[in-house]
Amino acid sequence: MIDERFVILGVFIFFLGSIGYFKETILGKVKPNKVTWFLWSLAPLIAFFAQIKQGVGIQSLLTFIVAFIPLIIFLASFVNKKSYWKIEKLDIICGSLSVLGLILWQITQVGNIAILLSIVADFLAAFPTVIKSYKEPETENYVIYFTNAIAALVTLLTIKVWSFEQFAFPLYIFLITLLIAVLLKFKIGMLFAKK
């Protein structure tokens, strides 16, 4: 395990990695789905507050930045003429799970329920991007996902007590962002399409 203050370094790496995506969003070089980026902001924000309530320390900073950066991208997407609103059944399910997480959290006062439902909602919101990263890697930039994976890995390396509220969200973020980064960087879908 490394010193927990390394979480700040991981968050800084992710922040730096997101600057290019922010610029590309403004310039119209990437095509973010507004619904997805909004949900990517909402679900981690719920998990962040649940982590705080559960007593998670500095490691919750990763969850906060995982909510904050998508919020910035979501707002930047309104400048980008190529970004789009595409509300599908999956988006409604994700939003419903986020709201359900808030309600169940308030009823039960168990933050882990909110964290779990936030992970499920975030995954469902990420699924279209995983598919797009496989089929149309030219519409995304892998750097933001790769630096997010680095930040999550650093956070995982700082955990001293491996309880659900401590590791669940960082582990999920590490796995999903690494998957997307690999699909984009190596254009795996295009490789299989050529065969």
Judged by DSSP in three states, 57 sits in: coil
Q: Judge whether 1 lies within some domain.
A: no
The SS3 of residue 18 is helix
- Output b/e per residue, 44-65; b: 16+ Cβ within 10 A: bbbbbbbbebbebeebbbbbbb
Number of domains in the chain: 1
pLDDT per position as a tens digit, 128-156 = 889 889 999 988 999 999 999 999 999 99
Q: Which of 13, 8, 71, 7 is CA-nearest to residue 37?
A: 71
Give me the mean pLDDT over the 162-191 stretch. Answer: 96
Within a domain: 26 = yes
For the record, the structure tokens of 71 come out as: 């919020």
Nearest to 90 by CA among 145, 30, 39, 32: 39
What percentage of the chain has pLDDT greater than the value 90?
61
Flag whether 42 is in a domain.
yes
- Residue 121 pLDDT: 86
Q: Is residue 75 part of a domain?
A: yes
pLDDT in tens, 81-135: 777 677 778 778 877 877 777 787 778 888 898 899 889 888 888 888 898 899 9
pLDDT band with cut points at 50, 70 and 90 for residue 195: low
Q: Would you say 170 and 122 are in contact if contact means Cβ atoms under 8 Å apart?
A: no
Q: Tell me which residue of 174, 159, 133 sits closest to 30, measured CA to CA.
A: 133
* Domain range enclosing 26: 6-194
Q: Judge whether 44 lies within some domain.
A: yes
108 φ, ψ (degrees, to nearest 5): -90, -25
- Residue 68 placed within a domain: yes
- For the segment 47-70, the average pLDDT, to the nearest whole number, is 95
CB atoms closer than 10 angstroms to residue 188: 14
Q: What does the mean pLDDT of the chain come to?
A: 90
